[in-house]
Amino acid sequence: MQKSPEETCESCSICSFDVPEEREPFWKRRNLIIILASSGILTVGLIFEFVLNFHLLAQILFLAVVIISGYDIAKNGLHSLLKKRLDMNILMITAAIGAFLIGHGEEGAAVIFLFFIAEFLEESAIERTRRSVGALMRLAPDVAVVRRDGKEVEVHTHDIEVNEIILVKPGDKVPLDGIVVKGVSSINQAPITGESIPVTKQLEDEVYAGTINCEGFLEVKVMKKVDQTMLSKIVELVEDAQKRKSPTEKFVDRFAKYYTPSVLFLALLVATMPTLVFNLPFDEWFYKALVLLVVSCPCALAISTPVSIISGITSGARNGVLIKGGRYVEEINQTDVFAFDKTGTLTEGEPEVTDVISLGNSDREVLSIAASLEAMSEHPIARAILNRANAEGVRTENVTDFKSIAGKGVCGKIRCQTYYLGSVKIFNGMSLPIPKEVDKFEEEGRTVVLVGDGKAIIGIIAVMDKIRDVAVRAMPRIRKSGIRTVMITGDNRRTAKAIAEKIGIDEFYAELLPEEKVNMIEEIKRKNHVKVAMVGDGVNDAPALARADVGIAMGTIGSDVALETADIALMQDDLSKLPYLIDLSRTTVRVMKANIIVSILVKGTFAVLAFPGIITLWLAVAVGDMGLSLAVILNAMRLSLIKS
């Protein structure tokens, strides 16, 4: 029995988005070997020092730990010094040397060892978020089966040219972007669009590299080479986004630049002033100065923002929302107004006939006359009328003496009778009474097309751009977030009002030209002193998207232009991603702020406790540095759990 796409998705493991990560063998993972070796040597050293009383041998082992774990730390610190910059590596090396000088080699070794672990955890956290994007690339296979000279051959994807035919069997991953030329199947597009239900693909439909063929056998004509696929563009954009720092990240970077020299200067004062001024024991205060150095290391503070931002961006990418940088994660959190284009955003962009009313003849005859006249036109309303006629099996007839009446409609002869089709304007010129139904339809936001024979109006056809169901569902959730919604359209005021009321838009601006839409965005920002995000199709709305604080393009799968122009891109025509985006942005900013506040509070508390001698060197690193860094990382990583 043939399964539905939903059943296939639930029961078939090949549709799973998560891909096992390829890990290096243990013996090739240098940092883990360093951690294990250092922990073993440090343990033996502690036994020699405090159990067996072999002080000299213990100090040698502690020094070995510093050399093994501290090689990279010292190298990075020296590199910073050569650039005339002080960083946290300098703080740690200084603390370790000082500990050895006052006879606390075990604490010096612990400082370096625990700091190495903290750095390892930070690098692992960032690498993990990057691997989550890299997992997308692994979904696209390296080889594909290509039909060449009547034979099926396996070829590396880099060697496949545009217009070649590739074969995609059930369970296979689509290797390259292309168009289906034979076969029907359901395709899991989750890696690119984030949608959970497979999409049916048939003749002339586009398929994308990295998506998964769930059912049937497909022959696909390659349209893009391996480095031009939608998948490769997504990965490139996300990697680029990770490099673009948010305002908070930039502030933390500037803060750290002045923070480290200040800490070194303060530690110098703590080490010397009590002895010089109050004649207190130098060893005691020198040790406290070392603790202050370690406690003040800004590791957790430095990592708190970037790991949160990267987690947020990669979480969005996995759910079909591409965010071009950390700046826009923060901007959405501060956004007060969401402005929407109407056509193609809140509506389908394709008009459909909603009503056919006969005023004498039968409904089918009215539709037949209208379809016959519109068969000569390429206008969207003409397509809507023809689609309705085809759906109802209504035949069109030959038209002679066809004429287009600019701005009003068309006319032509059918069976020697002249018929007119168009707006109210064409019939006002004939002094014919306009049916009362016209006002009713226009109040509801429908476009009215009248059919007449020159003596009377014989029929009414109402056409309306179909409202997206998802727009009706998403708007209350957006408004519940405290964000005001605005619709900006070039359509007439009646239609705009009707659609705004049906969807639940707070306010609307109608009959606007493209340049007037841009001015309206500026006016909303200036008049209300708010930040505005503009949601559109990414191509026609490019000027307005650019003028808004954040430009959000929707339905960008397959659209290179939209991917490039938008600050944020929704891969589907799915406005339900907007509440997810708002939630993701707000949660990311909350996590980021929480990480910063906790880092400062813990560091500050430990610094104060260092003066009465409550905090030791190893405790400062284990809890105040490594433990805090781990807490910050784990808090940030939970952003990946947010689902659309």
Which residues are identified as catalytic? 341
Q: Which amino acid is at 456?
A: A
Give the whole-angstrom CA distance, residue 303 versus residue 293: 18
- DSSP states along 298-329: -HHHHHHHHHHHHHHHHHHHHTTEEE--HHHH
Q: Classify strands 337-341 and 484-488 as parallel, antiparallel or unpaired.
A: parallel
């013996």: which residue's tokens?
27
Q: How far is 557 from 572, CA to CA, in rounded Å?
A: 6
Measured CA distances, 243 to 210, 249, 323 (Å): 24, 11, 12
Strand partners of residue 222: 178
CA distance 379 to 282: 90
Looking at the DSSP bridge assignments, the partners of residue 409 are: 405, 422
> HSE (CB half, 13 Å, CA atoms) of 285?
17
Count of Cβ atoms closer than 10 Å to residue 562 Cβ: 24
What is the rounded distance in angstroms from the CA atom of residue 48 to the CA atom of residue 39? 14
Q: What's 622's DSSP letter?
A: I
Question: CB count, 10 Å around CB of 332?
Answer: 27
Q: How far, in Å, CA of 252 to CA of 258, rounded?
A: 10
User: Rounded distance, CA 110 to CA 98, Å?
Assistant: 13
What's the order of all strands across the beta sheet hosting 409-414?
347-358, 457-467, 447-452, 417-422, 409-414, 400-405
- Enter the tokens of residue 360: 């004498």
- Name the E strands within 435-537: 447-452, 457-467, 484-488, 507-509, 532-536
Q: Distance (Å, rounded) from C-alpha 253 to C-alpha 247? A: 10
- Contacts with 323 (C-beta within 8 Å, 6 or more apart), sequence order: 241, 312, 313, 316, 317, 329, 567, 568, 581
First to last CA, the chain: 32
